[in-house]
Amino acid sequence: MKLAIVTGAARGIGLSIAETLAGEGYQLLLVDVSEAVDETAAALGAAAVRADISSPEGIDAIVAAADASDATPALLVNNAGITRDALLRKMDEAAFRAVVRINLGGSIALTEALAPKMCDGSAVVNLSSRAQLGNVGQFNYGISKAGLIGATRALALALAPRTRVNAVAPGFTESEMTLAMPEQVRERIVNSIPVGRAGKPVDIANAVAWLGSDKASYINGQILYACGGRTF
Ligand SMILES: NC(=O)c1ccc[n+]([C@@H]2O[C@H](COP(=O)([O-])OP(=O)(O)OC[C@H]3O[C@@H](n4cnc5c(N)ncnc54)[C@H](O)[C@@H]3O)[C@@H](O)[C@H]2O)c1
């Protein structure tokens, strides 16, 4: 059986990805720092590991949980991520480092650790962001997500032909991450989305599931914008 490992699966987009992949017959290993991941996993009949993708101990725990599974890793979804928004002149170094360490460093470290264990025809899907094109107040986040695109392209070459590596770059999507933004800002962004609405987690999950599937077996090193056309 095929194992899909999804990070940041306790809520939001990661939860929707887990639900979608469960529907497609994958066995699931769900990863999150939050204890809520246990409940999510129980609801989906999945295994769970509470781990921080930005720490070596966290990576070791995820690899050990994958090793303990009777299924072979076939899909890794690097979805865990954080924001620490601030205007550039107010952004402290801790906020800069935390975002880059988790969003970029953690995703790369986990991919490197799991790659040797992944089966022929496997796939990695990274969650980048439309914000990599530039957003006021998201200097750190934009860098982390732009870096993830560079990593996607480099890893796509390094891990071929056994494993494909692609990225989904969501635009503004309804989740606790975006609910933390001031209402006026959210309204302004949603009004600028060409398809006329915010993304829903399942919009992103469907794009991830397709890139991870055999239907996308000739797609490697690519970035799929799931943002309702707001690539500006
Ligand atoms: N919501 C959006 O509009 C949007 C847009 C573009 C990209 N994204 C990206 O999509 C992904 C999911 O976003 P979301 O909106 O569901 O966010 P969210 O904040 O609702 O969920 C993120 C999950 O990741 C977990 N997490 C955070 N740091 C972790 C760590 N170090 N180790 C393990 N787990 C960790 C959190 O506990 C949480 O459960 C993120 O990478 C985000 O940057 C989101």
Alpha carbon distances (Å) from 128 to 43, 62, 63, 142, 151: 27, 21, 23, 9, 10
CATH number at residue 89: 3.40.50.720
- For 72: left if phi > 0, alpha if psi spans -120 to 50, otherwise beta; the answer is beta
Q: Is 231 inside any structural domain?
A: no
Nearest ligand 1 atom to alpha carbon 9: 39
Closest CA to 145 of 165, 131, 159: 131
pLDDT tens for the chain, 232 residues long, are 999 999 999 999 999 999 999 999 999 999 999 999 999 999 999 999 999 999 999 999 999 999 999 999 999 999 999 999 999 999 999 999 999 999 999 999 999 999 999 999 999 999 999 999 999 999 999 999 999 999 999 999 999 999 999 999 999 999 999 998 899 999 999 999 999 999 999 999 999 999 999 999 999 999 999 999 999 8
Query: In terms of residue numbers, what domain contains 209?
Result: 2-226
Is 218 annotated as catalytic? no
Q: Is 232 inside any structural domain?
A: no
- Cβ of 70: how many Cβ atoms within 10 Å? 7
Q: Is residue 9 in contact with ligand 1, taking CB distance under 6 Å?
A: no
Q: Is 132 inside any structural domain?
A: yes
Indicate which residue's Cα is closest to atom 42 of ligand 1. 81
The number of distinct structural domains making up the chain is 1
Nearest ligand 1 atom to alpha carbon 83: 43
Q: Is 15 inside any structural domain?
A: yes
Q: Is residue 172 in contact with ligand 1, taking CB distance under 6 Å?
A: yes
Is the whole model's pTM more than 0.95, yes or no? yes
Q: Is 156 inside any structural domain?
A: yes
